[in-house]
Structure 1
Amino acid sequence: MTQPADRQGQKTMRMRIRRWLVRINRSVPPGLRVVVGLLLIVGGIFGFLPVLGFWMIPLGIGVAWLDLRALCRLRKTRQR
């Protein structure tokens, strides 16, 4: 059973973003990940330019969320 072309495109895009997030999580220091994420989001807003692309927005949100998720967990444990 084959999937429609748009479903396969979504799966491959998710896999690519996941691979980038794993790579960034391993190589970029924690405080710098938020800055890199924000820069990716801002660059994605200018996606109509040739070098930049709209793909940078979800990647930037994911990169920034790597640190924000840890901060939310830390805050929850301190409240208890």
Structure 2
Amino acid sequence: MYRYRCEQCRTTSPAAHSRHELNRHRSSHRDLFHGGHIPDGEHVIASQRTSLLDLPREQRIAAAVLVVALVVACLIRF
């Protein structure tokens, strides 16, 4: 999970589940309140992941594909 923080406005975005979603929050804020410019003091807050479900969707899909490939390889071998 990520959050975008603008120190000038003293605001923090809602939680974003991917960097892509975070970039949309950041771009929208910059366009609406700063004329598209990068405000001083902005930063990204990344919370620590606590479970497999907190991983980005792409990583969960890759892990599932890997597990399926390993299971198929084991079945073919035995």
TM-score, length of structure 2 as denominator length: 0.28
Q: Which has the larger radius of gyration?
A: 2
Higher relative contact order (CA 8 A, sep 6+): 2
Please, what TM-score do these two structures have when normalized by structure 1?
0.28
